[in-house]
């Protein structure tokens, strides 16, 4: 007589109900544990494993790659869920680059001259209401639009406000938020750090300056059919455009104040009818300085503190 006939069959005969019940219990316990693991990671088990095993550049659509770039917030991780047509045709024409080579002395002279011009740039907080022609503002923004951008997506919108009523509304929004920023949100360290600069929540320049230029980054593009197009490095691209804009303002003999009013973005976006893919990065009053304008007597770091040569 075999072992199965001697022991297993009599056992199953007497205890088959317990055996079946145990199997069902183990099956459901396993199912429960699997579900629990999946929910806590919010990523299906098979996809989490796939993403882990791939290098970051080739990971899938689980918001693993931040396309916006440096220091991005969560909102910037919005991505095109479907593949859209490539930005450029495969047979995009490449044309000769026109370049006039300068003599080294001329390069030196120009670099000195540009440095002298830019070294005179200051953040000015007191503006006159002298008008600035619209054509000048057009050229400043044209120049900002020459900035490089990730895959040439040009992920920016510049809103130029010359209308006095809208400027008043902008000022009301900014002052209301800045009062809360200074009294509650910023904290004593930040407020103390700003004391020497004499900045307050009162922003007269917002109604005095001839123009206000608001720089928005577009966190993604919107195709005519509503699908999203990725805007790679939208943050740094728009910041570069902002830097070029500051240089253009200085070059035109105008002044500005680089400002980033905290917590005002959504309200200003609504006021200016911008869409939800546009996030305000900079708010720049642009115009002429008031005759009695002052600036804090700040010094800039010398070259050897900001440059390393290898």
Ligand X SMILES: Cc1cc2nc3c(=O)[nH]c(=O)nc-3n(C[C@H](O)[C@H](O)[C@H](O)COP(=O)(O)O)c2cc1C
Residues in contact with ligand X by the rule CB under 6 A: 122-123, 125, 197, 199, 257-261, 295, 298
Q: Give least dist CB 122 to ligand X, A.
A: 4
Which of the 8 DSSP states describes residue 48? Answer: H
Encoded tokens for 103: 């003599």
Q: Which residue's C-beta sits nearest to ligand X?
A: 123
Q: Give least dist CB 222 to ligand X, A.
A: 27
Which of 219, 259 has the CB closer to ligand X? 259
Q: Give least dist CB 282 to ligand X, A.
A: 7
Which of 122, 229 has the CB closer to ligand X? 122
Which of 63, 260 has the CB closer to ligand X? 260
DSSP letters for 151-206: GG---EEEEEE--HHHHHHHHHHHHHHHHHIIIIISHHHHHHHHHTTT--S--THH
Which of 230, 237 has the CB closer to ligand X? 237
Q: Give least dist CB 258 to ligand X, A.
A: 4
Which of 180, 197 has the CB closer to ligand X? 197
Q: CA 217, CA 238: separation in Å to the nearest integer?
A: 6
Which of 54, 295 has the CB closer to ligand X? 295
Q: Give least dist CB 48 to ligand X, A.
A: 37
Quickly tell me which residue has 């088990």 as its tokens: 45
Q: Of 285, 134, 144, which Cα lies nearest the Cα of 217?
A: 144
H or E stretch including 134?
helix 134-144
Q: CA 170, CA 210: separation in Å to the nearest integer?
A: 14
| 261 burial via Cβ count (<10 Å: 0-12, 13-18, 19+) | buried
Q: Give least dist CB 54 to ligand X, A.
A: 36
């Amino acid at each position: 007589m075999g072992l199965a006939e001697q022991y297993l069959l009599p056992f199953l005969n007497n205890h088959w109900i317990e055996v079946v019940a145990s199997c069902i219990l183990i099956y459901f316990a396993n199912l429960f544990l699997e579900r629990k693991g999946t929910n806590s990671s919010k990523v299906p088990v098979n996809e989490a494993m796939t993403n882990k095993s791939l290098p970051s550049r080739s990971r899938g659509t689980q918001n693993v790659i931040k396309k916006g770039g440096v220091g991005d917030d969560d909102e910037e991780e919005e991505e095109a869920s479907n593949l859209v047509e490539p930005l450029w045709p495969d047979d995009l024409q490449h044309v000769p680059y026109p370049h006039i080579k300068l003599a080294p002395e001329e390069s030196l002279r120009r670099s000195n001259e540009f440095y002298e011009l830019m070294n005179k740039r200051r953040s000015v907080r007191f503006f006159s209401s002298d008008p600035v022609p619209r054509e000048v503002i057009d050229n400043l923004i044209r120049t900002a639009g020459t900035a490089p951008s990730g895959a040439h997506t040009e992920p920016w919108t510049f809103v130029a406000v010359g209308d006095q009523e809208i400027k008043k509304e902008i000022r009301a929004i900014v002052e209301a938020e800045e009062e809360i920023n200074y009294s509650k949100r910023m904290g004593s360290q930040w407020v103390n750090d700003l004391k020497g600069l004499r900045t307050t929540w009162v922003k007269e320049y917002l109604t005095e300056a001839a123009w206000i230029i608001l720089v928005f980054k577009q966190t993604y593009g919107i195709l005519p059919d509503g699908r999203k197009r990725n805007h790679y490095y939208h943050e740094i691209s728009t910041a570069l455009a902002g830097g070029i804009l500051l240089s253009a303002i200085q070059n035109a003999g105008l002044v500005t104040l680089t400002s980033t009013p905290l917590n005002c973005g959504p309200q200003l976006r609504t006021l200016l009818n911008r869409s939800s893919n546009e996030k305000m990065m900079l708010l720049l009053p642009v115009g002429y300085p008031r005759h009695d304008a002052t600036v804090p007597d700040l010094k800039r770091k010398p070259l050897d503190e900001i440059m390393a040569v290898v």
